[in-house]
Structure 1
């Protein structure tokens, strides 16, 4: 844990910051050691980043179009799915991941605290069309575990 620098979490919140707390937040649980926090965050990250996000399409819908409309339907369905994913997919995957992280870490007893975007980006990542590389991901998760197991934040706990 000593090798992982403690990210700065203290800041003076503005009304604009408060409006983005559904996106920019971090976790903390009193009495938790670094290894436990790292295991908890890693587990929740694995659950929240589900492999289906990056499997490359919706196999159920593709087979539906193929069954109903033959090869032309399969091609049309694939093109339509790709267009919808390009328009809505990235933002929706990020939103779902945030919700899943909140639920998983909340279940494990962690409190959630709001964060301004710039400070949040120093120890978090967002995935859209691709997965963050494992080495980089591990570094971010270690920083998040450092905060989750560090000193109790002075900020107000956010609702679950």
Structure 2
């Protein structure tokens, strides 16, 4: 059995890297402006993740793993605290998204007006809860730039966030973590 695992490991690693999007084909937004006092003050809401000495492949794997929490940020989830049990390997977890509310078109429009960017903020908070223990730091970002980074769990968004997280050191100070 150990010999079979040793032989299968290189093939598994090659398949995982073959599926990675090419970071050269990804255009990241301009992340400057993180030293502006107004941007730093709003950094609690508008930020991106970065970690020193992180490869694009590792960042992509981390964001892809944490993306399983993002569908939970739909509906009224931004208003409710949430606990997700960490049970075993990724393939053993129940990542079924919570049921969405069916209020119809008018209800969805009213909800969108009331909630604003709360769903996107909740998704970012869930990413933070997953990425902070892995050593990722948060850096402030102007709101206009933050809005250009999608809050979904698509492969393109994961690739963009991974490129940012594994890129050059930001020209700003990291945000303080709440203890």
- Say yes or no: TM over 0.5: yes
The structure-2 alpha-carbon separation of the partners of 1:119 and 1:55, relative to structure 1 and needing over 3 Å to count, comes to same
Confirm or deny: 8 A CA contact 1:13 1:116 kept in the other structure: no
Task: Report which of the two has the higher share of helix.
Answer: 1
Confirm or deny: 8 A CA contact 1:45 1:101 kept in the other structure: yes
Instruction: Compute the displacement of 1:109 (Å).
Output: 0.9
TM-score normalised over the length of structure 2: 0.59
Confirm or deny: 8 A CA contact 2:138 2:175 kept in the other structure: yes
Confirm or deny: 8 A CA contact 2:35 2:172 kept in the other structure: no
TM-score normalised over the length of structure 1: 0.64
- For residues 83-133 of structure 1, the C-alpha deviation after alignment (integer angstroms, 9 at most, x for no partner) is 9x82755654333322211111101110110000222233x124xxxxx5x
Residue of structure 2 aligned with 1:45, choices 49, 56, 67 = 67
CA distance in 2, matches of 1:88, 1:154: 35
SS in 1 for 2:43: coil
Residue of structure 2 aligned with 1:148, choices 153, 157, 165 = 165
Confirm or deny: 8 A CA contact 2:73 2:123 kept in the other structure: no
Aligned-residue CA RMSD in angstroms?
Answer: 3.0
The structure-2 alpha-carbon separation of the partners of 1:158 and 1:51, relative to structure 1 and needing over 3 Å to count, comes to closer
Confirm or deny: 8 A CA contact 2:67 2:127 kept in the other structure: yes
Match of 2:15 in 1: none
CA distance in 1, matches of 2:29, 2:120: 22
Structure 1 alignment gaps of length 5 or more:
59-77, 127-131
Structure 2 alignment gaps of length 5 or more:
1-22, 76-97
- Farther off after superposition, 112-121 or 6-15: 6-15
Instruction: Compute the displacement of 1:39 (Å).
Output: 1.4
CA distance in 2, matches of 1:125, 1:100: 14
Instruction: Compute the displacement of 1:8 (Å).
Output: 1.9
Confirm or deny: 8 A CA contact 1:25 1:114 kept in the other structure: yes
Instruction: Compute the displacement of 1:52 (Å).
Output: 6.7
